[in-house]
Amino acid sequence: MISKALTIAGSDSGGGAGIQADLKTFQELSVYGMSVLTAVTAQNTLGVQGVYPVTLEAINQQLDSIGLDLQPDAVKTGMLFNSDIIRIVADKIKYYGWSNLVIDPVMVAKGGSTLLLQVAVQSLISHLLPLALVTTPNIPEAEMITKMTISTIEERKKAAKIIHGMGSKYVVLKGGHDTSTTAVTDLLYDGHEYTLLESSRIQTRHTHGTGCTYSAAVTAELAKGKSVAEAIQTAKAFIQAAIEDELGIGAGHGPTNHFAYQNRLRGINSATNEQ
Ligand X SMILES: Cc1ncc(COP(=O)(O)OP(=O)(O)O)c(N)n1
Which residues participate in catalysis according to the annotation?
174, 207, 209-212
Residues 6+ apart with CB under 8 A from 193: none
Give the full edge-to-edge strand order of the sheet including 134-135: 47-53, 32-44, 4-12, 74-77, 101-103, 134-135, 170-173, 183-189, 194-200
Contact yes or no for 109/115 (Cβ under 8 A): yes
Q: Out of 24, 156, 174, 224, point to the residue binding ligand ADP (CB under 6 A).
A: 174
Let me know: does 10 contact 79? Beta carbons within 8 Å. yes
**211-250 residues near ligand X, rule: CB under 6 A:** 211-212
Name which of ligand ADP, ligand X, none residue 79 binds, using a CB cut-off of 5 to 8 Å depending on partner kind: ligand X
Q: Site for ligand ADP (CB under 6 A): which residue of 177, 230, 237, 262?
A: 177
Residue 41 is a binding residue for ligand X (CB under 6 A): yes
Distance CA 114, CA 110 (A): 10
Q: What angle do CA 72, 60, 135 make, to 5 degrees?
A: 50
Q: Is 211 in the site for ligand ADP (CB under 6 A)?
A: yes
Residue numbers 238-257 binding ligand ADP by CB under 6 A: 239-240, 243
Residue 9 region by backbone torsions, left for phi larger than 0, else alpha for psi between -120 and 50, else beta: beta
How far apart are the C-alpha atoms of 124 and 103, rounded to whole Å? 10
Stretch that binds ligand X, among 9-17, 63-71, 147-155, 195-203 (CB under 6 A): 9-17
Choose from ligand X, ligand ADP, none: what does 92 bind? Cβ within 5-8 Å by kind.
none
Q: Which residues pair with 184 in a beta bridge?
A: 199
Amino acid at 206: H
Nearer to ligand X, 17 or 228 (CB): 17
Select the span of 27-35, 60-68, 203-211, 237-245 touching ligand X (CB under 6 A): 203-211
**In angstroms, what is the minimal distance from the CB of 39 to ligand X?**
7
- Distances from the Cα of 239 to the Cα of 25, 67, 216, angstroms: 10, 30, 10
- Residue 269 C-beta: closest distance to ligand X, Å: 26
Classify residue 272 by burial, with Cβ atoms within 10 Å: 0-12, 13-18, 19+. exposed
* Length of the chain as a residue count: 275
The entry of ligand ADP, ligand X, none near residue 175 (CB within 5 to 8 angstroms by kind) is ligand ADP
Residues 41-100 interacting with ligand ADP (rule: CB under 6 A): none
Q: Binding to ligand ADP (CB under 6 A): which residues in 118-147? A: 138
Binding of residue 14 to ligand X (CB under 6 A): no
Q: Least distance from C-beta 43 to ligand X, angstroms?
A: 6
Identify the residue among 3, 7, 18, 124 touching ligand X (CB under 6 A): 18
12 lies in the site for ligand X, by CB under 6 A: yes
Task: Evaluate whether 131 touches 167 at the Cβ level (below 8 Å).
Answer: yes
Tell me which residues touch ligand X (CB under 6 A).
9-12, 17-18, 41, 43, 78-79, 106, 109-110, 115, 208-212
Tell me which residues touch ligand ADP (CB under 6 A).
138, 174-177, 184, 186, 199, 201-202, 207, 210-211, 214, 236, 239-240, 243
